[in-house]
Structure 1
């Protein structure tokens, strides 16, 4: 049962939007939405931690990344490692590859994929993406020589600037449970979490927040994502790392290169879409033109055939039977061509 207090005030830059899945979902106005408008990446000066590029750079700080995982999951980790600078997985050449924002492993072999998510598709796309990520991660682990029994436990964590499920909870945790007995867990080692930063909007502190299970630092972290000033030691540490990254000229140059590459890919995609549209239009036009031409050709041949019969003074009944046209049509053709029948 949802015990969250009703939202009594909506702060600046936030609004309710209607969704079929739930009556209203609270979203930040900066949330990117599919199919509504083209997203333009902000300038380096305006970039916040909700931008994937900056989020990933900040999470390269092992101490911050480790503590964020610990606080979200309520666990203790001895150490973490980044297997690759940028984790991309492509199992086959013809499969769709994935690029994971923050992919880390801990000292026990558990795998964590953390994604900053500011795009709300308002359908099952985001949910099914976690399924695809899970499959790709498992296949990647298998390809490294592990068998099924040795598959690492995995955690896919989406930090969202919107409430994907519309229940006002700050966190939604999913594992595989038995429908006949929800106390029975499959224990396949997979966990998927969705954080909802909008849940903390109306509240000033963790003391007034109705969900007591949420770590205080995660409460302040979600507020920080919403654009609030940093509070607490941990979030201030995150903010200091954000400042450090943004003061780096090298990072600024990398971001500009990254932004230009994203825009280039979008431009190519748009151009491909336009070109495909043109080609489809041409093909449709050719097909329709050919059909029209064939129809008109048949009509002309039929007309010449009827005129030849009229010229030979063939009876009306015979012309009707031979052409398949009505007597009235044959008479009209004869009248237009000033021929007797």
Structure 2
């Protein structure tokens, strides 16, 4: 597990801590949004890690990393994502479809007309190429297949930002921001705006409350390991102990809402295996 100082803005904990910070939250979130969307953003309400529960215990809920509500404007969801497993990438469009559905459902009150449904922009910032075209920006909107130029304004938009993309012609400031988000050091704060953002990031990392919260998250990781071992011991006989331990770690991690990248790290550390072996184990229990 990384130290707090080693975290980058593509790491969930740091981007959540920054955008929800009592001093720097709205300011940092606005800069990131304005850089991505190339327009001014109004007053923002930041809701880090907003949960939308399923309708019952049998249906799926979601946890959004950074939910942003613009006063008299649009709704945004920013999702830094490093889950580069083959299955996760293939299912990403359906994942986004579900995110849009849950956000929409929570923002249309009984008696409201469909015309009052607000615009929603879901933004994924990835360290992998989601579509294999080496583009930095992929903007997705619904359209008419037969008449592509037909205006179909349903208010839903998704933007995928690949931090290492080279194709297309994205603005220079966006290139610099995405590079900084993946490698959040002073050396990569190449503009005045990024230097200002880096000062905010540094201040957040030095905030005692943030440090305490990160320590608690580390303790949760340790609890997963311990309880995973216990579930593993109960899973079978001695010759099946390793497999039981694998299953225990994965099951408990999923119960606690861990992302696949976090589960892979736990498997590597606990079982003393490399990343490829960990991915094979994770795939085995996803079948």
TM-score normalised according to structure 1 size = 0.60
Compute the displacement of 1:59 (Å). 2.0
Of 42, 46, 50, the residue aligned with 2:6 is: 46
Aligned residues between the structures: 228
1:97 is displaced (CA, Å) by 2.1
Q: Which residue of 2 aligns with 1:74?
A: 38
Where 1:162 maps in the other structure, the secondary structure is coil
| Alignment partner, residue 78 of structure 2 | 114
Partner of 2:177: 221
1:150 is aligned to 2:116: yes
CA RMSD across the alignment: 2.5
Residue 126 (structure 2) aligned to one of 154, 157, 160: 160
Contact map agreement 2:9 2:182 (CA 8 A) in 1: no
Contact 1:153–1:189 (8 Å) recurs in 2: yes
Q: 1:230 to 1:138 in 2, by over 3 A?
A: same
Give CA deviations for 1:56-98 in whole Å, capped at 9, x if unaligned.
122232122112112212222222112x454111142323221
1:44, 1:269 → 2: CA distance?
A: 24
Closer, same or farther: CA 191–262 of 1 in aligned 2, 3 Å = farther
Q: In 2, distance between residues paired with 1:181 and 1:127?
A: 22
Contact 1:159 1:195 in 2 (8 A): yes
Matched, 1:246 2:209: no
- Partner residue in 2 for 1:96: 60
Structure 2 counterpart SS, 1:96: coil
Query: Is this contact kept in 2: 1:117–1:158, CA < 8 A?
Result: yes
The answer to whether the 8 A contact 2:124-2:161 is kept is yes
**Cα offset, 1:149, TM superposition:** 2.6
Q: Which runs of 5+ in 2 are unaligned?
A: 241-287
1:216 Cα offset (Å): 2.3
Tell me if 1:139 matches 2:75. Answer: no
Counterpart for residue 182 of structure 1 = 148
* Residues 100, 216 of structure 1: alpha-carbon distance in 2 compared, 3 angstrom cutoff: same
Structure-2-length-normalised TM-score: 0.71
Q: Show the counterpart of 1:291.
A: none
Give the 3 Å change call, closer, same or farther, for CA 118–150 of structure 1 in structure 2.
same
Contact 2:42 2:73 in 1 (8 A): no
Aligned to 1:261: 220
Could you tell me how far apart the structure 1 residues matched to 2:144 and 2:226 are?
Answer: 46
Shift of 1:128: 1.7
Aligned counterparts of 1:135 and 1:189: Cα–Cα separation in 2 = 12
User: SS of 1:134's equivalent?
Assistant: helix
CA distance in 1, matches of 2:146, 2:101: 26
Partner of 2:78: helix, strand, or coil?
strand
Question: How far 1:115 sits from its partner (Å)?
Answer: 0.8
The answer to whether the Cα contact below 8 Å between 1:72 and 1:215 also exists between their aligned partners in 2 is no
Query: SS of the residue aligned with 1:193?
Result: strand
Counterparts in 2 of 1:96 and 1:217: CA distance versus 1, 3 Å: same
Partner secondary structure for residue 179 of structure 1 = coil
Higher Cα radius of gyration: 1
How much does 1:43 deviate? 1.9
